[in-house]
């Protein structure tokens, strides 16, 4: 990306961060609570970091380009900070439902003000955009799209999470932005393999990420959120996912050309683990969500390492 644009983005973000950070100085307790929340949100970015990593591998393995550790750090940080800032905004507009499901959250208890929550999101978003701007126009565009999608997903009046189609569509596109940010970390023009992978990720996440809403169905219904789970019920969605996840795992492998039988067997085992978790676990707790996040990350790692071994 142009050095002047990148430098300007970094300078503006730094100045903004210092100014907003100064407003927190007198309330160091709020800073600690916000940092604690940031730390707790990091595992939730694991799946998006995995998508980012697969895209990096697709670009590196598909050509002669190489990636520096500094660029890899910048791209990974852009994904993490973008999502962390978006979670703060989500907390702000989910206070009503969190009153029932997460009463001890600092935003619900009023220990962190609405203004402080917004400031924290803006700081994280700013640094995310700064890192992306240092990489390429594609990376910066992907980071901007990731933030915009998260805002329209959580923030009224659009608040796409309140409708089944809107929620599924925006979640699918969020996954695609992580893929494109990974591509933009390596090259200036995404390859065909990355575009194909981004397409399958969009469909994959549209169909399957509803498992994150299983535990919150009562709270979402009470606050007027009509997502996929609320519309069709937890039992129907659970059994839909038992079938959909394995099919999606195998389809993803075929789309990018990972068709070696031993690897397909491994992916089959991973998909059965995902289906088994849905059958055996209590869907009203966060434990299922966290474990499925880990299974998805394992799948993505398997996909990326195998692709690299085949095509590098």
Mean pLDDT by 10 residues, the chain (312 residues): 55 57 58 71 80 91 80 91 86 64 53 78 88 92 94 84 81 93 93 90 88 84 79 91 93 87 92 94 86 87 88 76
Give me the pLDDT at residue 165, please. Answer: 81
Residue 226, classed as helix, strand or coil, is strand
- H or E segment and range at residue 7: helix 3-24
d(CA 119, CA 31): 11
Count the residues in the chain: 312
Global pTM value: 0.81
Residue 267 CA neighbour count, 13 Å, CB half = 25
**Residues 307, 259: Cα–Cα separation, whole Å:** 10
In 215-285, which residue ranges form alpha helices assigned H by DSSP?
217-222, 228-232, 234-255, 261-280
Spell out a b/e string for 154-175, using b for 16 or more CB atoms within 10 Å of the CB, else e: bbeeebbbbbbebbbbbbbbbb
Tell me the C-alpha distance between 179 and 199, whole Å: 10
Residue pointed to by tokens 């600690």: 32
Say whether 217 sits in a helix, a strand or coil: helix
């Amino acid at each position: 990306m142009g050095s002047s644009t990148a430098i300007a983005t970094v300078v503006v973000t730094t100045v903004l961060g210092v100014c907003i950070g100064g407003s927190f100085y007198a309330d160091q307790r709020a800073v600690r609570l916000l940092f604690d929340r940031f730390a707790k949100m990091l595992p939730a970015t694991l799946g998006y970091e995995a998508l980012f990593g697969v895209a990096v591998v697709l670009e590196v393995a598909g050509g002669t380009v190489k990636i520096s550790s500094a660029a890899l750090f910048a791209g990974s940080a852009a994904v993490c900070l973008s999502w962390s800032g978006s979670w703060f905004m989500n907390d702000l507009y989910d206070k009503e439902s969190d009153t029932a499901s997460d009463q001890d959250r600092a935003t619900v208890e009023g220990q962190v003000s609405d203004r402080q929550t917004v400031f924290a999101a803006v700081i994280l978003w700013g640094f995310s955009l700064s890192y992306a701007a240092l990489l390429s126009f594609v990376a910066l565009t992907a980071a901007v799209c990731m933030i915009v999608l998260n805002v329209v997903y959580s923030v009224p009046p659009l608040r796409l999470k309140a409708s089944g189609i809107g929620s599924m569509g925006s979640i699918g596109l969020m996954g695609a932005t992580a893929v494109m940010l990974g591509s933009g970390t390596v090259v200036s023009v995404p390859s065909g393999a990355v575009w194909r992978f981004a397409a399958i990720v969009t469909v994959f996440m549209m169909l399957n990420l509803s498992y994150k809403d299983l535990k919150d169905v009562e709270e979402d219904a009470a606050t007027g959120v009509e997502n996929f789970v609320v519309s069709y019920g937890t039992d129907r969605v659970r059994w839909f996912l038992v079938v959909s996840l394995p099919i999606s795992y195998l389809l993803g492998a075929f789309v990018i050309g990972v068709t070696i039988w031993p690897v397909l067997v491994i992916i089959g085992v991973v998909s059965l683990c995902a289906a088994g978790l849905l059958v055996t676990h209590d869907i009203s707790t966060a434990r299922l969500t966290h474990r499925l996040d880990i299974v998805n990350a394992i799948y993505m790692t398997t996909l990326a390492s195998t692709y690299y071994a085949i095509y590098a």
